[in-house]
Amino acid sequence: MITARYWREMPQRYRYEAGKCVKCGYVAFPPRLICPVCKAREFQTVTLANTGKIETFTVIRVAPSDFEDEVPYAMAVIKLDDGVQVTAQVVDVDLDELKIGDRVRIEFRRISQDGEAGVIFYGYKFVPA
Amino acid sequence: MSGLVPCQACPLPLRIYPSEEIAKIWGADAESFKRGLLLREKSVPAPDQDLITMSVEAARHALKRAGGLDPKELGAIYIGAESHPYAVKPSGTVVAEAIGATPDIHCADYEFACKAGSEAMFVTLGLVQADYVKYALAIGGDTSQGAPGDALEYSTAAGAAAFIMGREHVVAEIEHTHSYTTDTPDFWRRDLQHYPQHGGRFTGEPAYFKHVTSCARALFEKSSTKPGDFKYAVFHQPNGKFPQRVSRMLGFTQKQIDQGWLAPTLGNTYSGSSPMGLSAILDVARPGDRIFMVSYGSGAGSDGFIWKVTERIVEVQNLAPQTRQQLEHKPRYLDYGTYAKFRRKIRKAEKV
Amino acid sequence: MRDVAVIGIGMNKWGELWPSRIRDLYVEAALLALDDAGVDKIDSMYVGCMSSGLLVGQEHLGALMADYLGQAPVPATRVESACASGGVALRQGFIEVASGMSDVVLVGGVEKMTDIDGGSTTYALATAADQEYEGFHGVTFPGLYAMMARAHMARYGTTREQLAQVAVKNHENGAKNPRAQFPFTTTLEGVMTSTMVADPLRLMDCSPVTDGAAAVVLSTVEMAKKLKRHPLVKITGSGQASASIALHARADLTWLGSTEAAAKTACKMARCTPREADLFEVHDCFTIAEIMVLEALGLVEKGKGGPATAAGLTALGGEFPVNASGGLKAKGHPVGATGVAQIVELAEQLRGDAGARQVKGAKRGLAQNMGGTGASATVHILEVES
């Protein structure tokens, strides 16, 4: 039962909320308690850019148990337009045509579920921009 | 004045050719299906899409169309569907949280076969007119399921449309509404059953046609209008043929229904059907146009609406992708095997 | 700080060891190491293990192993740092002896990986990444390293063949190692046509799922000299460093900063540079990893790991022999055991006991072990006294 663990991350997974260091401007996603750059401890909530480009990617063919039915699927490190990098799936795309530098935008999708009877996990994926 | 502020549909890029792919598997006569139901293709949700994800996307676009309306101004969110991902636990809370409309908001999920979406529209309009809430979000959509080999499998599709109702910044004013309801068991799904059941040809005359025409005629009478007074008309679209036939029965022309007649390439999106048709109409409507809309939900009932388009429509039409553009944007076609896998129609081993 | 010697080494044959329980694996390797050292009394012991909870449903390995080794009530501690668990356990043992807290310490590493199905193993390993921001999205370890590989290829022109060359070389070495899980040779074509796992990485780019354990006995140099059973092998440098847990949080996806930092610390202690080592056991969990480690250790320039491998720089007879044991690729990768097994290999090589894969005249060896996508790294330098 990982309901609480999922619920806790909703601001990030649903609304892409990050913490911006009030002192040096570092954007922490997910939010942190102390800035890794300047050690300040005050952050303001900001929303991540919803478009970006693919820094690197792979197509997963051997998946963890919860994702076995989804193969093959693309995973990428995406650099958002505000400079923050995130890891997520890239969907609605021809896997053979994916390349570094492709522009993508965020969409709200199902990520996985806690078994057939458990909570459904939603979050961000990316689609071609 | 109250009515629609903006609206947005969320059609999907995945498609299947029902007559070719589905008829081939089940040994049906493809040509007669194509002719009989006027269904060329239908949308299919990707495995990571469901009513909730479609609703979030449609709602986000609707907010964009509303010129960046602060989601905190929404006083209610109602989602109508028969494919809520949870049997118990609201879809609306996920959507409200994702668009940033929580926590000061009323939320409920509706179910009334294919008219749950228009039901949400009807109730949100009422709340706005009563001045209970400033703005309210109504969503109709479905990832509808048809049993393998059943006639429904040729039409069941996925899509959703979101509408923001309010008294300010209205793009389509509500002039009249009417609802027509009887107990008519033409289509149902019992608790814990995976696929719906239906009464075959009983779903036609005593069900769809009776309710849609009765609701429409009551609406004509209430508003003292006739088909010629409307630029556009849109009806529930269980297939391509029914809305065409019902519009003729009521005296509408093909030209009046064409813009909102999405079924031939979209399929039947159940609670999303006539709402998505309305969305496609509002993409092109001009100020002053009147729109006639009647939904249908098995069980059975119809909700009717007469909308009058305002001057503001032209300002919002290009703020987000339009319904038919989305529908035509790079569709990808599936074979039946992939479709069956995506729709979880293949029996897998129990997890140990 | 006192000098620390490796006085005993032990490792069983690795593979899919169906009859063995996790406690048997550890105890077998520990007994081999104790026998090799000629001691039966220890002051304390460590167990490096990544994920026994998910893999076999057993935690609390310190006490379990002490009990089954017949060493209770000695202090017994489990150390976890993902795939660097073994290296970090070794460092703890090293610190304990060097500090004067203990004179004889047993450090073992173990992993029993074949008791669950493949998807569950993939999941367990993926918990070494950021579970909420990488794992949640369906990423796997081959997937993360594949993304590093693609970034490296795009930035430096590293080729598919160069990646494959790492596997070919390590299997060539592994074929000479009687304890290796896969002691066979392979070809570039064999690697490049193997099953795709996470594009561009194929099955033969990946280290396998393995049951196995390795153990070493550490002691003071005085005690080693008194025992006099083997040439005196000392740990002269130990370094450990960390980096962001998530790959995406790093500015440069092609650079292993923690390995660079750990090497710096270890080399400073050993008063040498990595290039002065005669052989290297490095963490080739995937072919790209070995290439990136060569760069992080400064054996080659940034981006030149691929061409250097293809040119034979890291082959058994090359300037910098890397993974004479066969590496994780051929020897196997029971994750918690790997960092300790690297020390077993270096000690055996420095003693001159490595048989067909012996690096001739090896006096100094370097072991690099890492966890996750390099969020944890250890570097140890071993030297033999002539």
Q: Would the CB atoms of A110 and B53 count as touching at under 8 Å?
A: yes
* Residue given tokens 């077998």 in the structure block: C28
Chain B contact set for A15 (CB, 8 A): 97-98, 100
Nearest CA in chain A to C124: A64
CATH of the domain at B254: 3.40.47.10
Question: Tokens representing B265?
Answer: 């390439």
- The contacts of residue B5 (CB under 8 Å, 6+ apart) are B65, B66, B69, B135, B163, B164, B165, B166, B168, B169, B170, B171
Q: Extract the tokens encoding C77.
A: 């501690």
- Cβ-defined contact of B53 to A120 (cutoff 8 Å): no
Which pLDDT value is given to residue A1?
60
Superfamily per CATH, domain C4-116+210-227? Thiolase/Chalcone synthase (3.40.47.10)
Q: A45 forms bridges with which residues in the sheet?
A: A19
Ramachandran assignment for B319, one of left (phi > 0), alpha (psi -120 to 50 degrees), beta (any other): alpha
B125 and B69 both lie in a single domain: yes
- CATH code of the region A49-129: 2.40.50.840
3-state secondary structure B28-88: CCHHHHHHHHCCCCEEECCCCCCHHHHHHHHHHHHHHHCCCCCHHHEEEEEEECCCCCCCC
Q: Can you tell me the distance from the alpha carbon of B274 to that of B259, in angstroms, rounded to the nearest whole number?
A: 12
C59 neighbors C310 (Cβ within 8 angstroms)? no
- State the Cα–Cα distance between residues B332 and B315, nearest whole angstrom: 32
User: Which member of A57, A63, A88 has the closest CB to residue C150?
Assistant: A57
Buried b (16+ CB within 10 A) or exposed e, B54-79: bbbbbbbbbbbbbeebebebbbbbbb
Determine the pLDDT at residue B4.
83
Among chain C, residues having any CB pair with chain A shorter than 8 Å are 117-120, 122-123, 126, 130, 132-140, 142-143, 146-148, 150-151, 154, 195-201, 246-249, 253
Measure in Å the smallest separation between the Cα of A5 and chain C Cα atoms.
9
Summarised one tens digit per residue, pLDDT across range A90-104 is: 999 999 999 999 999
Q: Given phi > 0 = left and psi -120 to 50 = alpha, else beta, which region is C38?
A: left
Q: What would the two tokens of residue C93 be?
A: 């043992």
A15-71 tens-digit pLDDT: 999 999 999 999 999 999 999 999 999 999 999 999 999 999 999 999 998 999 999
Helix (H) or strand (E) holding C262: helix C257-270
What confidence tens digit (pLDDT) does each residue in B104-133 have?
A: 999 999 999 999 999 999 999 999 999 999
Give per-residue pLDDT as tens, B134-190.
999 999 999 998 999 999 999 999 999 999 999 999 999 999 999 999 999 999 999
Do the domain assignments include residue B206?
yes
pTM of the model: 0.95
Domain that holds residue B199: 172-313
CB-based contact A89 C137, cutoff 8 Å: yes
Q: State the Cα–Cα distance between residues B303 and B281, nearest whole angstrom.
A: 18
Amino acid at residue number B312: R
Asked if residue B236 and residue B263 are part of one domain, the reply reads yes
Q: Please count the other Cβ atoms lying within 10 Å of the Cβ belonging to residue C307.
A: 18
**DSSP symbol at C195:** P
Single out the catalytic residue among C152, C171, C333, C380.
Answer: C333
Let me know if residue B259 belongs to a domain: yes
Residues B21 and B154 placed together within one structural domain of the fold: yes
Note whether B68 and B45 are same-domain residues.
Answer: yes
In A, which residues are within 8 Å of B57 by CB distance?
107-108
Q: From its phi and psi, is residue C283 left (phi > 0), alpha (psi between -120 and 50) or beta? A: beta
Q: Could you say which of A56, A65, A87 has the minimum Cβ distance to residue C137?
A: A87
Query: Where in the sequence numbering do the catalytic residues of B fall?
Result: 82, 114, 236
Among this protein's residues, is C206 annotated catalytic?
A: no
Nearest-Cα distance to chain A for B338, in Å, is: 11
CA C48 to chain CA centroid, nearest Å: 11
Q: Quick: pLDDT tens for C335-349.
A: 999 999 999 999 999
C partners (3+ CB pairs within 8 A) are A
Cβ neighbours of A9 in C, within 8 Å: 132, 136
- Compute the nearest-CA separation of B294 from chain A (Å): 30
User: Count of A–C CB contacts within 8 Å?
Assistant: 109
Q: Which DSSP symbol is given to C137?
A: G
At how many degrees (to 10) do helices C61-68 and C22-37 cross? 60
Q: In Å, how far is B146's CA from the nearest CA of chain A?
A: 20
A interface mutation test: which of B14, B48, B329, B332 has the most A CBs within 10 A?
A: B48
Ranges of beta strands (E only) in chain C are 4-11, 44-48, 76-79, 104-111, 196-198, 201-202, 212-220, 233-242, 279-281, 364-371, 376-384
DSSP letter string, B109-168? EE-BTBTHHHHHHHHHHHHHHTTS-SEEEEEEEEE----TTSGGGGTB-EEEEEEEEESS
SS3 B270: helix
Tokens for B148? Answer: 């393998």
Cα C96 from Cα C116, distance rounded (Å) = 35
Supply φ then ψ for residue B13, to 5 degrees: -80, -15
C140-205+236-384 — its CATH code?
A: 3.40.47.10
In this model, does residue B220 exceed pLDDT 90? Answer: yes
Q: What residues of chain C lie within 8 A of the CB of A76, using their CB?
A: 147
Q: 3-state secondary structure string, chain A?
A: CCHHHHHHCHHHHHHCEEEEECCCCCEECCCCCCCCCCCCCCEEEEECCCEEEEEEEEEECCCCHHHHHHCCEEEEEEEECCCCEEEEEECCCCHHHCCCCCEEEEEEEEEEECCCCCCEEEEEEEEEC
* Count: domains in chain B: 2
> Considering Cα of C280, then C286, then C289, then C294, what sign does the dihedral take?
positive
Could you give the CA distance from residue C13 to residue C326 in angstroms, rounded to a whole number? 13
Asked if C138 lies within 8 A of A5 by C-beta distance, the reply is no
Query: Do B179 and B275 belong to one domain?
Result: yes
| Common-topology check for domains C4-116+210-227 and C140-205+236-384 | yes
Is residue B18 pLDDT above 90, yes or no? Answer: no
B103 and B74 together in one domain: yes
Residues B183, B162 share a domain: no
B345, part of any domain: no
Mind telling me how many Å the CA of A66 is from chain B's nearest CA?
11
pLDDT of res. C81: 98
Residues C126-146: pLDDT tens digits?
A: 999 999 999 999 999 999 999
Whether residue B351 is contained in a domain is answered as: no
**CB of B236 within 8 A of CB of B33?**
no
CB contact under 8 A, A77 and C136: no
Band of pLDDT at residue B83, cut at 50, 70 and 90:
very high
Q: Are B122 and B196 in the same domain?
A: no
- With a CB cutoff of 8 Å and minimum separation 6, the contacts of B18 are B33, B39, B41, B42, B153, B154, B155, B267
Whether residue B34 is predicted with pLDDT greater than 90 in this model: the reply is no
Which of B57, B85, B348 is nearest residue A107 as measured by Cβ atoms?
B57
Span B261-271, average pLDDT: 96
Low-confidence ranges of chain C (pLDDT < 50): none
Please name the amino acid found at residue C75.
Answer: P
The answer to whether the beta carbons of residues B291 and B232 sit under 8 Å apart is: yes
Selecting from C120, C140, C246 the residue whose C-beta is nearest the C-beta of A62 gives C140
